[in-house]
Amino acid sequence: MEREIKFFKLIQETSFRRIEISYNNLVRHLERQERIKLEAIDVYRLLYPYVNKRFKEQLVTVIPLVLYLALFQILFLRQTIEDALTITLGIVAVIIGLMLFMEGLIKGLMPFGELLGNKLPQKSRLSTIMLITFLVGVGVTYAEPAMGALKTAGSIVNINKAPYLYVMLNQYGDILPVAVGIGVGIAALLGTLRFLKNWGLKNIIYISLIPTIGLTILSVLNEDLKSTIGLAWDCGAVTTGPVTVPLVLSLGIGVAAASSRGSSTLSGFGIVTLASLFPIIAVLVFANAIYYIAPIDINNLTRLATENGNTELSLFDKTPYLEIILGIRATVPLVLFLLIVLRFVVRERLKNPTYITYGIVLLIIGMIIFNIGLTYGLSNLGNQSGGLVPAAFTRLNGVENSPLYQYSIGLILALIFAFFLGFGATLAEPALNSLGITVENLTNGVFKKSILMYSVSFGVGLGIMLGIVKITFDIPLHLLLIPLYIVGVILTALSSEEYVNVAWDSAGVTTGPVTVPLVLAMGLGFGNALGTTESFGTLSLASICPIISVLSMGLIIKFIVSRKATGEFKNPKGNIIKETV
């Protein structure tokens, strides 16, 4: 119709070279499947989007949090950030480390999980499967990036005020992850059994809570062990991270699918809940075991600690070699174990060994870089701002003009800070987004993705706020946790199975590798500045609060839906008549 020539088409015509060749000829040349020779520009163009996408993924989760902490410190507390350069480099290391680690996880570790999950049930008896599931549970805990944060946290604990806590994190610092791992292992085992036998999650929650709460009360009654409760409950939140959840899940789902009994849409849920409850039991048992089997002599311990000098106590006297060793120790055993199982039990070979090797190399390097970033970036920053926030409402040495605000205003400011830290960090967590989508599908769109995301984030924010309240007024953790869990249990009893699954899992899914170290370090810095005995527990409060908020939201939605439904039945005239005309 139109006979105009567009200008850009003219330019294109002159600058864009077109060559026509016959595919027949091309195929003849390509017959041998030879490697393609790449030029530098091609490598760049190939790698740029690949790296860019993965880098940005981590950037958007890390940067807002870091900026929030930094800006709060500068604007409201009017303090400059110490070691700004170190922290910045540390944060960059965290982003790069996480990027490599996550890519390594997808390329290197996940194929193992999928292959094992699919093939193991066909080739082994149930007892073997259970043993392997258990051992994988132990292994993944070691590989969890946030576990490194516990080690860092250990050096801040005051040896005189909480000797058992100190011992658990330092002298027995290598055994603690094993204890946590055993907890996760049992959880993985039970979770898989649950898929096979179709047990309801409600009953499992009730049954697992009995020993959890029981051991907590037992430890509360013991003056020496009181200080370990916070650590134990926080371990539950630390374990459910980016390695444990997908690997254990893919195993569990694979087993359930192979037995073709896991027909429910809910298969896949529940393991996370168990994996955050059983480590609590395991750590509490561990604490009690130390107390009864090898009780510690405080004088002896203090002497030892001072003999070891500052190398043991200081946060930053670590060489990068330590991180390298830690990184290798966290990942290599798991990979080796999976390889051995695959070779000798399942007798399968991996497809694409090149990619898997590449993934595993990335996994290890990523873990090392992340660990370095964790120490110098996240823990440093969290500890620093945590230590300064109390200056808003109380007198702190080293902070001029403190308290900066009136007591009540300062405290409210600190609480608002804590709330939005939790709220924002959770909302940015990519795992929450995918959980939201699953839930929306599961409930046929009744429980909207955004509603879930906001209620979980609200819960986490509330939990971290409660954690700050706990540290500020030195409230014993059990006085907060036990009532909250009772509320949780009551709401669980009232809710339907779907919502119970979603709510209890939401807490574990959302505490990722950035949030955990940051919140942990912040709590510890905060507590140290105020001189409280132990400052763990914030994470555990951030776990139970979203459970309650999601369950309540579920009940509210159910109520609204049922009211709407009855309302429509009462007045059915309008729509139907219109449609027939």
Using the minimum distance from each CB to other proteins, give the nearer residue, 46 or 493: 46
Phi-psi region of 531 (alpha: psi -120 to 50; beta: other; left: phi over 0): left
Q: Which is nearer to other proteins, 203 or 357 (CB)?
A: 357
The answer to whether the beta carbons of residues 468 and 418 sit under 8 Å apart is yes
Rounded least distance, CB 108 to other proteins, Å = 10
Query: Which pair of structure tokens corresponds to residue 101?
Result: 């680690």
The residue among 107 and 226 lying less far from other proteins, judged by its C-beta, is 107
Smallest gap, in angstroms, from Cβ of residue 334 to other proteins? Answer: 21
CA end-to-end span of the chain? 43
- Min. distance of Cβ 50 from other proteins in angstroms? 4
Cβ at position 211, least distance to other proteins in Å = 44
Residue type at 331 in one-letter notation: T
Between CA 187 and CA 292 the distance in angstroms is 26
Least Å from the CB of residue 411 to other proteins? 46
Positions in the binding site for other proteins (CB under 8 A): 9, 12, 16, 33-36, 38, 42-43, 45-47, 49-50, 53, 107, 354-355, 358-359
379 DSSP assignment:
I
Residue 474 DSSP class:
T
Q: How far is the CB of 556 from other proteins (least distance, A)?
A: 36
3-class DSSP state of 427? helix
Q: How far is the CB of 39 from other proteins (least distance, A)?
A: 10
Q: Tell me whether residue 50 or residue 407 sits nearer to other proteins (CB atom).
A: 50
Q: DSSP labels for 67-126?
A: HHHHHHHHHTS--PPTTHHHHHHHHHHHHHHHHHHHHHIIIIIHHHHHHHHHHHHHHS-H
Tokens (6 digits) for 259: 């037995």
DSSP one-letter string for 393-420 = TS--TTSTT-S-S-HHHHHHHHHHHHHH
Nearest 10 degrees: CA dihedral of 79, 81, 82, 86? 180
In the complex, minimum distance from the CB of residue 509 to other proteins, in angstroms, rounded to a whole number? 23
- Kindly tell me which of 14 and 310 has the beta carbon lying closer to other proteins: 14
Give the DSSP H/E element, type plus range, for residue 326. helix 320-340
Query: Which is closer to other proteins, CB of 210 or CB of 577?
Result: 577
How much is the CA Rg of the chain, to the nearest whole Å?
A: 27
Identify which of residues 46 and 328 has a Cβ nearer to other proteins in the complex: 46
DSSP 502: H
Instruction: Please say whether the beta carbons of 513 and 98 come within 8 A.
Output: yes
Task: Pick the closer one to other proteins by CB: 375 or 438.
Answer: 438
Q: Which two tokens stand for residue 541?
A: 């409060």
Question: Whole-number minimum distance, CB 364 to other proteins, in Å?
Answer: 16
The answer to whether residues 214 and 206 touch, using CB atoms and an 8 Å cutoff, is no
Structure tokens at 19: 């060559």
Nearer to other proteins, 56 or 161 (CB): 56
Helix then strand then coil, in percent of the chain rounded to 5, is 75, 0, 20
- At 267 the three-state DSSP class reads strand
Secondary structure element (H or E) that encloses residue 149, with its range: helix 147-154
Determine contact, residues 373/97, Cβ cutoff 8 Å.
yes
501 and 200 Cβ atoms separated by less than 8 Å: no
- Residue among 12 and 406 whose Cβ is closer to other proteins: 12
> How is residue 347 written in tokens?
């007798």
Measured from the CB atom, the residue of 48 and 407 that comes closer to other proteins is 48
CB atoms within 10 A of CB 373: 27
Distance in Å, CB of 168 to other proteins, minimum:
41
Least distance (Å) between residue 532 CB and other proteins = 48
Q: Which is nearer to other proteins, 358 or 405 (CB)?
A: 358
Residue 4: CB minimum distance to other proteins, A: 12
The least distance separating other proteins from the CB of residue 441, rounded to whole angstroms, comes to 16
Find how far residue 393's CA is from the centre of its chain. Answer: 31
| Residue with smaller CB distance to other proteins, 49 or 567 | 49
As a whole number of angstroms, the distance between CA 30 and CA 372 comes to 46
Q: How many C-beta atoms lie closer than 10 Å to residue 344's C-beta?
A: 8
